[in-house]
Amino acid sequence: MNTIAEPVQGAGVDDKNLSRASLHRFIHQDFHEAVDRMTIIDAFLFLIVHSIDKLGIWHRLPVFLGLLYLAVRRHLHQEYNLFNVGRTPTGVRYNPADYPYRTADGKYNEPFNEGAGSQGTFFGRNILPVNQKDMKPDPMVVATKLLARKKFIDTGKQFNMIAASWIQFMIHDWIDHMEETQQIELVAPKEVANQCPLKSFKDGSAIYGSNEKTLHKVRTFKDGKLKISEDGLLLHDQDGIAVSGDVRNSWAGVSILQALFIKEHNAVCDTLKREYRNLGDEELYRHARLVTSAVIAKVHTIDWTVELLKTDTLLAGMRGNWYGLLGKSFKDKFGHVGGAILGGVVGLKKPENHGVPYSLTEEFVSVYRMHSLLPDHLQLRDISAAPGSHKSPPSAEKIPMPSLIGRVGEKTSSGIGFVKLMVSMGHQASGALEPWNYPVWLRDVVAQDVEGMDRPDHVDLAALEVYRDRERNVARYNEFRRGLLMIPISKWGDLTDDQEVIEALQEVYGDEVEELDLLVGLMAEKKITGFAISETAFIIFLIMATRRLESDRFFTSNFNEETYTKKGFEWVKTTESLKDVLDRHYPEMTAKWMNSASAFSVWDSPPPSPNRIPLLFRVPKSLLQANTVSRDQAKMFRLAEMIKKLSGASLHRFIHQDFHEAVDRMTIIDAFLFLIVHSIDKLGIWHRLPVFLGLLYLSVRRHLHQEYNLFNVGRTPTGVRYNPADYPYRTADGKYNEPFNEGAGSQGTFFGRNILPVNQKAMLKKPDPMVVATKLLARKKFIDTGKQFNMIAASWIQFMIHDWIDHMEETQQIELVAPKEVANQCPLKSFKDGSAIYGSNEKRLHKVRTFKDGKLKISEDGLLLHDQDGIAVSGDVRNSWAGVSILQALFIKEHNAVCDTLKREYRNLGDEELYRHARLVTSAVIAKVHTIDWTVELLKTDTLLAGMRGNWYGLLGKSFKDKFGHVGGAILGGVVGLKKPENHGVPYSLTEEFVSVYRMHSLLPDYLQLRDISAAPGSHKSPPSAEKIPLPSLIGRVGEKTSSGIGFVKLMVSMGHQASGALEPWNYPVERNVARYNEFRRGLLLIPISKWGDLTDDQEVIEALHEVYGDEVEELDLLVGLMAEKKLQDSQLARLLLLYS
């Protein structure tokens, strides 16, 4: 367990110091202190990782070695990048058996901490806060010169608008800050500023809400169901606000996801009601929520994330998180076997919080700034026409994105309809997370409060996000990297090869690379091939993605038939992707309009060619190229020679100086493991290694991060036991999940830390966030993700965010001076419990439930219901949009379908039982989709495909797991199904660093291209384009109305066929003491950049970084670094995902 405290002295210190001192010779000087804090083993593991980092080859290693590198990194981060903050109590036990369901506010999840990850808990930290009182350069300058979109850059076929919506859907599940309404001079009281109004767990809060009030609003209180409109979109209240779990700052892409998962919830309810006729409304609701939130978590883990990080190593890693190395087949057959590695994180015997109460972190919030995913308009498709080539519908009108935001967006969506909206989003690529791709329309946008009502003032979101990281003392880019044990940049050329970016950076920052704002650095950083996000952001993912699963008892000790019901558990097990959810509710839509294998990649993209080589043994294509092989062989030879010199010599000689301190803090074994990882990092080949080696690399990295990047913060109690048998369901507030911490990960718990907070008070406006946002983030021209990520994928991550993270902040947005004891609490739950649809507290839960047959409220049109204010009735409706709403609706339908199935199967189940089981099933489905569908598309490589599937099924695979159950622990059987939750000694929470790397607004385009689903599908099932809807028209209550006009199918198809934006500089549509980019990397044991060229090869980005930050790479803001960082081939994210997938 990591706490922000003085190092403990003990026996053997002199011997250890001698060993660490020798390591200093091989490790970057910036890490000497970090190494000194590590155990000897961890220090040597870090040396290995650091050596690989120096070589820069981890993503080019064979998959198994890549996974090993990541596993070591994750271990290091779990040990040294999880910091507990705030007043969250530790040590209080309760009986989990009293809460066999997800509570409204996320409480009673972590067994030893009833409040961990619940609504209102503090954001944790992955990196210690950095004082950033110096707010230079001006955020407006940063935003204008480095972020504002010049020309839309998309993600190609990798990520569509559904994918862009998904991450906002997830954000509505996970994170938010309690803030006042004034957006520019933010002076929120410390006791509120960093609390999270959502829950940190993957519990479907985006559709259920994070409290009883919201839950009550979204529930029908009939058969356990949630409210949803007859047209499959969200219902709206009298104000036109969507009725859903989180409607704040939403848009049509989020709303359509909310509606989808409301339908999923209700379908679960129907199934459960048919199966278990004795289940009442409450039981049906609770079970359906468990099921639906699990479905969402699964989609996020093995679908969305896989598309985001599209490499074999991350495919293996994300699937490994769910199934373990033994794979799905083994796990399905034999159950969870062999711990987290073999059996996956899901299904572990007990939750694991690594000694830090679970919460999401400020750094997690920072890296999830992904507004560049949003385009400038949504290209509607003509779904009345015949499909074109690859099932592509013809284009129809373009809808400006502002027309899809809020209440206007709700109206727009309603006019479009679910199918047309979904098809349009599916066929439209999202924006890329790159410099100059931040949507300009988001620079003058009206935000909403937690009720979905418009605030009185406009905000420049790009500048605000830069400011946010600074004000919250999130480390700037270089310090962020250091905090993540990543080698910092020393010059702009270390960040990017883009000369234009370098010039812009020079203009804004001069040569002060240490001043580089995180957001700019994340955008400008050279991306690993296949990654939609930067490697720096990926490290936070590495930490937090696993943590969200392993710290949640409903994915570990309570991931079983007894808790979910047999039918509900089967529902989760058989749902592998968002496509499965869409197939369940809109089979004609997917059959006609979806050609792609994943709903998160552009729908007219061809499915991947069969690969007979087992995933773990695949070798990245780049490694097979002759010139690459010879170059990498030379690097590996140098690495071998370097390791040989270790005998009797100093590890520091082989490790970047920034990690000397970190290695000194590691154990000997971890130090050597880090040396391996670090060496691979130096070669830069982990994502080009054969899949098995890539997974090995990732496993080692994850181990390192679990050991050194989990810090408990706040008041979350640890050590207090309860009986999990008392809570065989997901509670409304997320409590009673972690067996030894009843509050871990529940609503209101603090965000943890992956990196110790970096004090940035003196640097809050240096460079000015507006300058950073303008010069390095603001969209110049929309950059999409190609076919990899569609708008469903973009919506999915917001859907997940609605499930996981939020900050408790007052509404005044700029001068945030929230009291420390509340500043980092999370109003959502940190678990993947479907909070996006169920909410994070009883109030929200009551709002979304029908209290009949366990179902949730959903409109007859398949979209979310809306209350009298026009606000969607779903778990989390704050800052939502149609993409999130449609996912919420989908999973409400999923929940209700689970209810129906369970009701048929178990006729004795009442409403509450049906609800609880359906929630378990649905939240597991969501978690599964996120893990092995969304994440797989995000990190589109074989290694990450193996990794994400390994998370769920283990290395033994799905078939084995389906047949024999979980066998062999997390590696062989996957994390899912472990005998007990694992928190690595840190009570579970998401972390501030996790929040930071989830800044993915660049995924959003400027408009949603609707598709004409009345037309015959074109090639590859592509529907013709219809009108374009501006994204602002799909946000909030406006977005709910827009979605209702579009309809579920049209909206989903449109999102599915539209690529999301890329996480790149200049494709965007800082506070919390999160380290800046370089320190963030150091904190995650990643080699920091020393020059802008280390971050990105894009010269334009380098110029922009230089303009904003000068040569001060250490000043690079995290968000900028995550956007600018070079992405891995075939993938859309970077390292932090591994730990928290």
What is d(CA 135, CA 844) in angstroms, rounded to the nearest whole number?
Answer: 38
Measuring CA to CA, which residue among 981, 172, 863 is closest to residue 586?
A: 863
Residue 371, annotated as binding a ligand = yes
Q: Residue 488 in contact with residue 481, Cβ under 8 Å?
A: yes
Rounded distance between C-alpha atoms, residue 421 and residue 1023, angstroms = 11
- Distances in whole angstroms, Cα of residue 159 to Cα of each of 88, 375, 542, 793, 1109: 37, 12, 20, 6, 30
Q: Of the residues 50, 172, 390, 802, which is catalytic?
A: 172
Cα 702 to Cα 399, 571, 862, 992, 1139, distances in angstroms? 42, 29, 39, 18, 6
Amino acid found at 914: L
Q: What residues form DSSP beta bridges with 293? A: 923
User: What backbone torsions phi and psi does residue 247 show, to the nearest 5 degrees?
Assistant: -115, 5
Number of other residues whose CB lies within 10 A of the CB of residue 404: 51
399 three-class SS: strand
Q: What is the DSSP letter of 871?
A: -
Cα–Cα distance, 148 to 151 (Å, whole number): 9
974: left (phi over 0), alpha (psi -120 to 50) or beta: left
How far the first Cα of the chain sits from its last, in Å, is: 20
Q: Classify 425 as helix, strand or coil.
A: helix
Give the bridge partners for 906, in sequence order: none
Output the CA–CA distances (angstroms, integers) from residue 550 to 71, 156, 741, 795, 1009, in the order listed. 14, 33, 13, 24, 38
d(CA 202, CA 175): 10
CB atoms within 10 A of CB 698: 45
**CA 1075 to each of CA 711, 838, 991: distance values in angstroms, whole numbers, following the listed order:** 14, 32, 12
Token pair 């190494």 in the structure block, residue: 35
E strand segments, 910-1051: 910, 933-934, 940-941, 966-968, 980, 989-990, 998-1003, 1006-1011, 1013-1015, 1018-1021, 1025-1030, 1047
Catalytic (active site) residue 59: no
Tokens of 339: 């711990």
User: How far, in Å, CA of 157 to CA of 536, rounded?
Assistant: 23
Closest CA to 816 of 774, 764, 876: 764
Local structure of residue 201 (DSSP, 8 states):
B
Joined tokens for residue 526:
């050279």
Q: Can you say whether the dihedral through the CA atoms of 548, 857, 844, 867 is positive or negative?
A: positive
Helix, strand, coil % in the chain, rounded to nearest 5: 45, 25, 30
Contacts of 1108 (CB under 8 A, 6+ apart): 137, 141, 142, 145, 146, 504, 505, 507, 508, 509, 515, 516, 517, 520, 767, 771, 772, 775, 776, 1120
Give the residue carrying structure tokens 């209550």: 1037
Residues that are catalytic: 172
Binding-site residue numbers are: 371
Residue ranges of the binding site for heme b: 371
